[in-house]
Structures are given as C-alpha cells and as structure tokens.
Amino acid sequence: MAKDLSQPLEAIKAVISCGLLAFSIALIMGLIAKSETKISGDVSPALAYVTLWGAIIWLTMVEGGQGSLVGLTPVNLDLYKESHKLAYKSTVVCYEGDNLDRYLLGRQFMVVLVVFTVNMSGGPNEGATLWGLPGWVFDIFLGGGLAMILLTCNVGQLNSQVNASHCMLDYINNYFAYFTFCVAMLIEFSGLLHASYLIQFAVAAMSGKAIESNEEPREGLASAFFWGRCLVSLAILGFCFAVTFQALFNEQTTLWGGVPPAVAVIVWFLLMCVVGMLEGMQIAFFAMAKLPESERGDSYWAKKTCGLLFKGEGVNLPGFMIGRQLCVVSCMFFVARVTSVSLDDDEDNIFGVGDGLQELFNFGFLGALIVTIVASIAWQLVASAFPMLFLNSPFTYILLSLCLALEATGICNASWVLAAIHKKIAGFQRDEVYIGTAEERAAKNKGDDTSHLKSGAGHIYKLPGFAEHLVMPSAMQDLMNNDPNVKKFVDDLMDSVHSNGPKVEISADVP
C-alpha cells in the first residue's frame, strides 16, 4: 500500500514517526554505551553496536530479497541475464525445482534470529536506567521494547519492502543479496527446520490435497537423507523445548524478575499463539480476497471479519499487513525475553552442557528455532489448507482490529521516508526500465510464466496483498491499468491460493 505523504495528515504522521524513530535510536545507542544491554554488558558496547546494526542491515536484505525473488518468479531469466548478472546468479538457482520453497523456509528462520539478536544487543538489562528518564518513558520505549520495535520495523523491514516491491532487479543485483540467498539455502539444507516438512505432510493429509512440486519424488539415498534430517530436526526441536522449560522453571531467562515460572510458560505460549494467528491470518485473508462475498463464510465472526477487512475500497487489507508487521515483531521481542537463557556466574550450565553450547543457549538460538517452526511456519501451513478456521475465530477479528488501529496511527510512516532516501542514494529504477512491461515481454516471445509458482496447501508463500478494488503500489497500478498480462498474472496468483473458488476480476482503478 503506497503512502501519499503529500497529504497533510500523512505528512504530519510521517514527521512524528521520524521523530519517534530518531528518539528510539538515541535511547538504544545510549543504553548500549552504558553497557546496560546483555551483549554490551557481557562483552563490550562496541560489539553490541556492530551486532545491532549488522542485524538490522542484514534484515533489510532478508526482507527485500524475499520480495524480489518471489516477485521475479514468472519473469524470463534471459531478459536480465546480462544487465543484472548478480541478480541472475540468485534467481537461476532459486527457480530450479522447489528451491524457492527451500529459500523461503530458510529466510523465515533468519528473520526470527535477527529479531532475537536485536533484543540481545539493544534490550535493557533488569534494573537498567538511562539519562534520568522518567520511569514511564523508560518503561514504554525500552522496557516495553517500543524503541527496538520501531527500529526493526521502520529501518529493517518496511523500508526495504517498499523499494523491493517495484525495483526488484536493482535490489538484489549485488553480492550482499547473493550471500543472503546462499545463507538461507544453507540453513534449509542443514536440516534444522526439516521438522516443518513433517507438519507440511500432516496438514496436506488432513486437507486431502496433494502438495504441488516441481521435482520428482525422492528415492534411495536422497529420500534417506531427507527423512534423516527430518528426524534430527524433530529431536533438536524437542531439545530446544526441554532447555527452555528448564530455564523458565529455574528462572534463568532474561524475563523480568519476580514472574512466577508457571506464568512465564503461559505467557510464552500465548505470545506464540498470537504470532501464529497473525502469520496464518495473512494467508487466510489472501485466500478470502479471491472469493465473492457469498463464499466467505456464513458464521458471525467470518462475516464480521470480512466486513471489516474488505470495507470500502479494500484499503484495510494492506493496512492489516503493516499493522501485522508491528504486532509480530512486538510479540517476538517479548518471546525473546521469555526464552533467552541468562545464567549467573555461580550457576551450572543447563543439563551440564559445555560452555560453548551454553553460550548458544544464552544467545537465544533455541527460542528462535521454536518460534520459527511452531509459531510461524506451522500456522502458515495450516492456514494454507484451512483458511476458514481463521475466519471463524473471534480472535481473528480482535487481532485484525488491533492491526488496523496500529497502522492508522502512522507510527511506521517513517519507513516511506527512509525508502525514498534509500532509493535516491542507491539509484534504484523500476523493473520496467530494464525488462519492459509484461506485454512487451510477451511480444518478444519471452512472456511471463506462472506455472512453476506453487502455492496453496503446504506452501508458505508471502503473496501480494491484492483484492477487489484494493489500493496497491503505484507501480503495480500503472502496470495493471496498462497491461492486461500483469492483471492476468495477479489473477493467476490469487487463483492458486484457492483453486476451487470462482475467479473474481481485480481492478486497479483508484478513486
């Protein structure tokens, strides 16, 4: 959803948002300088600064790279093989077989791990103070995590998504993007997340729908290697839960002191459920956006949710996506505090493990793995097969209202300002400059091909938020208004989410 910052109200929100972001960054930098965060206190402020900004900068590529690699999927590779050689290095591997699925699985863990890293670098230690700030200011911005949430969402996520939505080729035409892609693929290959495939198969079996694939069935050693990694991943996931429970009941996490272990466990699971609901809701909403009103469910909560989501010109769907980002990051920061292990100097390592492995526990790696598989990927897979489960829940309506309220505040408007600055400095140009419109590509016998873009049951694709009369980014509005092939591509994408639903025409006309 494009923000028109020339409108007085949006411009005012942008100024306030930029002010809050600058204040938040100053607070975090000051906290690190005083060695009041875990990394700055345990090691050094210098390492905390490098870790924090390294994580945020990497997150910009993780988020922007996803948008680019998913968005370029139907485009003929030959069109940019010479003009964008580094982008081609990523896409030629990404679009082979089911590698796009593998990449998305790996990058999901990268996002969660970055959030946990930011928490370790910039989150306040218990009892920390700064500059004599009033208690309520400190509690809201630092204790409550608002400062880190604004930094992560505005700088690390939304700003990159804005530019990558229509400058995909330029965004990933560098070694940083290629390295990030390779790391995501390596994470998936390691097998750490292979327990997700067990969930994928279970969901597909319950839905009675086959998982679409671009590869032949695994046989022999390939099958043994795959299932072996699934079992190892499942064992690692179980061990992560065991360590986390042990730390929680022994009050050995970074959670605020005085919280009873039973309460900590309940809070942990509630937060993961909220993250899961928000992850699943986006897929369920995209599925419903393609259906006529008569087929969006007849329960009270389904009607109420769809009535709010598709109200008016449909701007609430992209508005939800922005608010959802804020909510998910907020929950992840709290989960990071609940699950990150913190031992006193005189305490023994958990389960008697070595010091090196204990440091891995302390970093929050285990919590990040649990959140990725249990609170993120699993719920997305369920929603891909059973979208109506989410529509029929009152919690969906409550979370949708909360996300829309957060977006309406304009607290993330700074991301559009940062995106404009980044685009100017980097010299990004729209993809049409290099590869033409879909119509021009088709005229050269190099038309777009959506046949290998798999979605629906068993897939976790982040699909574009298009619905009837939806306000969409200006670049895509121009493409859809001027090029029927682009409009067909969007229709095909949404049809793949709910293959049994009737086709609904999409209009890019904006009043």
Contacts of 267 (CB under 8 A, 6+ apart): 259, 334, 338
Residue 254 counted as domain residue:
yes
Residue 279 counted as domain residue:
yes
Query: 308, 217 in Cβ contact below 8 A?
Result: no
User: CA angle, 398 as apex, 394 and 400 as ends, to 5°?
Assistant: 115
**In whole angstroms, what is the distance from residue 141 CA to residue 129 CA?**
12
Residue 162 counted as domain residue:
yes
Query: 236, 192 in Cβ contact below 8 A?
Result: yes
Show pLDDT as tens, one digit a residue, over the chain (511 residues): 455 566 777 788 889 989 999 999 999 999 999 998 888 888 899 999 999 999 999 999 998 888 888 888 888 888 888 889 999 999 999 888 888 888 988 998 998 888 888 888 888 887 888 888 888 888 888 888 889 989 998 898 888 888 887 888 999 999 999 999 999 999 999 999 999 989 888 888 887 777 777 778 888 899 999 999 999 999 999 999 998 888 888 877 777 667 788 888 888 889 889 998 988 888 777 766 656 666 666 778 888 888 887 776 556 777 787 888 888 888 888 888 787 777 777 777 887 777 778 877 777 778 888 888 998 888 888 887 787 888 888 998 899 899 888 888 888 888 888 888 999 998 888 888 888 877 777 777 776 666 656 555 555 655 443 333 334 444 444 555 555 555 555 555 544 443 433 333 333 333 2
Residue 215 counted as domain residue:
no
Mark out the alpha helices in 77-194 (DSSP H runs).
Answer: 85-94, 99-122, 135-138, 146-150, 159-164, 168-171, 175-190
Residue 6 counted as domain residue:
no
Residue type at 397 in one-letter notation: Y
Query: What phi and psi values does residue 124 have, to the nearest 5 degrees?
Result: -70, 145
**In whole angstroms, what is the distance from residue 290 CA to residue 189 CA?**
34
**In whole angstroms, what is the distance from residue 57 CA to residue 68 CA?**
17
Per the structure, the complete domain to which residue 365 belongs is given by 15-209+221-497
Residue 505 counted as domain residue:
no
Residue with tokens 């070694």: 175
* CA-based radius of gyration for the chain: 23
Residue 214 counted as domain residue:
no
Residue type at 252 in one-letter notation: Q
Count the domains in the chain. 1
Contacts of 360 (CB under 8 A, 6+ apart): 366
Residue 129 counted as domain residue:
yes
